[in-house]
Structure 1
């Protein structure tokens, strides 16, 4: 298991921004492959390293604990690492490749891309070639997609075919559109946050279950 274990017929699933034991238990029961912890204080989904450590203790083996950071200082990063057993890092700010590589200290890491109309996919994947995965999110003001989808049809087919084992698709996904996204792009994984919330930062166990069920239905549906 784990978020970045690529399989052509099983899309991996990450639910991000979990903050309570009930969130964790519902996500695990629904069959999630990874949960994301936001270490970015301006976010309504932010948690402290100690809270994250407590929540991670509820995860079964094989479910990744993803630490999301945004332009974190060395001191902030080490404060997280000291108490929270993160298994996969997600760099969601403007971190250069060398900084990501240095902070990860040999652990796997994801680089988030803020995809706008003129996004240069080839340049991005070459620049961050050492990343274990590329997370495609919408370009909005600030950091994070804000639940906003981007134009999936704008992704070059050659690029997605070459990089599918490393692509994590995010940005405005929910139970109603994730199936189409999987059918079109066949990413390694999908990432959802606001699409399974009843209000900002408040996860809904029913929506989490529906999202994961929609992914599994898409996986079982032959491509046209």
Structure 2
């Protein structure tokens, strides 16, 4: 059964709704330009409230290695997601699980995935000047050559289209932020519930 990550969580209530609905992971954003960005103290409170089966993932964009390590320790993160221009070397040597996000414009963009020795590769839509959470999708069929055992599909997923995406791509997991929100950073519990149910019954 496909796993689900609810990204851009900004408060305890939304985190608990996601957990209760069956999310395997939540994403906590530490990229200041994002409307979903959290300070470490707020993120720590969310992580402390999570049930143990839910993985807290920190999302970073071109952040200094020392700062990532500092936040990970302070917050209690269990995985790191690098969503910028991080090199394969930047993604190595961490004591936590690592997700490398790649923004997909065309098939050539997917060739980069092979260079990354990481636990998971997340495929997201390419939008100029924006690092995820855009609500835009890419041509899912481009992911056909990817290693599905470590593939997380993102980009424009909603409760309405996630089942079709799962059937086509057969990823390990799917990731959603804007597709289950009433506004940036505020999740709709019913949309979250429907998204997870539709993903897992596809």
TM-score by length of 1: 0.86
What pairs with 1:28-43 in structure 2 (closer than 5 Å)?
A: 28-43=19-34
SS in 2 for 1:180: helix
The equivalent of 1:149 in structure 2 is 137
SS in 2 for 1:126: helix
SS in 2 for 1:45: coil
1:124 aligned to 2:112?
yes
1:181 aligned to 2:165?
yes
CA change 1:75–1:148 in 2 (3 A) is same
SS in 2 for 1:57: helix
SS in 2 for 1:62: coil
Query: How many angstroms does 1:76 deviate by?
Result: 2.2
Aligned residues of 1:175 and 1:207 also touching (Cα < 8 A): yes
Cα-Cα RMSD: 1.3
Structure whose alpha-carbon radius of gyration is higher: 1
Unaligned 5+ segments in structure 1 are: 1-9, 219-224
The equivalent of 2:89 in structure 1 is 98
TM-score by length of 2: 0.95
Aligned residues of 1:138 and 1:145 also touching (Cα < 8 A): no
1:15 maps to which of 2, 6, 27: 6
CA change 1:145–1:37 in 2 (3 A) is closer
Aligned residues of 2:4 and 2:175 also touching (Cα < 8 A): yes
Residues paired across the two proteins, number: 201
Aligned residues of 2:153 and 2:175 also touching (Cα < 8 A): yes
Unaligned 5+ segments in structure 2 are: none
1:52 aligned to 2:43?
yes
